[in-house]
Amino acid sequence: SQQGEEDPQALSIQEGENATMNCSYKTSINNLQWYRQNSGRGLVHLILIRSNEREKHSGRLRVTLDTSKKSSSLLITASRAADTASYFCATGLSGGYQKVTFGIGTKLQVIP
Amino acid sequence: EAQVTQNPRYLITVTGKKLTVTCSQNMNHEYMSWYRQDPGLGLRQIYYSMNVEVTDKGDVPEGYKVSRKEKRNFPLILESPSPNQTSLYFCASSLRGGRYFRNEQYFGPGTRLTVT
């Protein structure tokens, strides 16, 4: 079963608007990472948030983590057409596991 | 340039014909992993390797084999491909694996496989 579930699965916004994507997971995790994928290409790491952190910023990205709700959100502020891509959360399970689970992703379209 | 390479990038084959997809990284990473990506299902982990000669199953290992004889290489073997293995495959590596999942993964460009 999928550990991470992104919501919404697709999002279309105008350039300059903010985009928010959510990720929910089912079991306890250590850390959570967000990745970006341009159409059909390899994923690129965006940001890591540790399980003891609640919020993290990197440039126009803001990630939050709520371990009590088993959810994370990725906010992209002042979006640009170049932000058009799919975004995935990835989790590594706590307890010494090396498996990595990705969600099904949010496809973001930023309209110029 | 630090990178993960995969070959071939595109492959069309027939059911039952054994094939190998190669993956190589030049970053001296310990952890390597294979994923498949299918529409509506996201990325699913097939196999991963913590280091040389240490491999383990991911979520969808059926029909696949891997080996890790050298640190830089992690080939994916399909002994008898079937049409349900038609997918986009990604190899990835990170400095280390492990319980804290604190290392980013570097992805290869992908291999688009079609099995007829």
Q: Distance between CA atoms of B38 and B53, rounded to whole angstroms? A: 29
Q: Which pLDDT value is given to residue A93?
A: 67
Nearest Cβ partner of A98 from B48, B59, B106?
A: B48
Q: Which pLDDT value is given to residue B68?
A: 97
**HSE (CB half, 13 Å, CA atoms) of B77?**
8
Residue A3 has pLDDT above 60, yes or no: no
- Tell me if B97 and A2 make a contact (CB, 8 A cut-off): no
Q: Distance between CA atoms of B27 and B72, rounded to whole angstroms? A: 8
**HSE (CB half, 13 Å, CA atoms) of B3?**
7
Q: Which pLDDT value is given to residue A95?
A: 52
- Tell me if A33 and B43 make a contact (CB, 8 A cut-off): no
- Tell me if A100 and B48 make a contact (CB, 8 A cut-off): yes
Count of residues for chain A? Answer: 112
**DSSP SS3 for A22:** strand
In Å, how far is B82's CA from the nearest CA of chain A?
22
Q: What is the mean pLDDT of residues A94-107?
A: 77
Residue pairs spanning A and B at CB distance below 8 A: 81
Nearest Cβ partner of A100 from B33, B41, B110?
A: B33
Band of residue A1 on the pLDDT scale cut at 50, 70, 90: very low
Sheet holding B19-25, edge to edge: B4-7, B19-25, B76-78, B65-66
Q: What is the mean pLDDT of residues A38-50?
A: 92
3-state secondary structure B5-62: EEECCEEEECCCCCEEEEEEECCCCCEEEEEEEECCCEEEEEEEEEECCEEEECCCCC
By C-alpha distance, the chain B residue nearest A97 is B99
Q: Distance between CA atoms of B75 and B56, rounded to whole angstroms? A: 14
By C-alpha distance, the chain A residue nearest B36 is A102
- Chain B hits for A39, Cβ within 8 Å: none
- B10 beta partners: B112
Retrieve residue A23's tokens. Answer: 């990720």
Listed range (A33-42, A94-103, B10-19, B72-81) with the worst mean pLDDT: A94-103
Q: What is the mean pLDDT of residues A2-17?
A: 82
Q: What is the pLDDT along chain B (116 residues), one digit of tens a residue?
A: 889 999 999 999 999 999 999 999 999 999 999 999 998 888 999 999 999 999 999 989 999 999 999 999 999 999 999 999 999 999 999 998 776 677 889 999 999 999 99
What sign has the CA pseudo-torsion B97, B52, B60, B109?
positive
Nearest Cβ partner of B40 from A4, A32, A104?
A: A104
Segment A47-82, tens digit of pLDDT:
999 888 999 999 999 999 999 999 999 999 999 999
Contact of B27 with B41, CB cutoff 8 Å? no
Contact of B23 with B73, CB cutoff 8 Å? yes
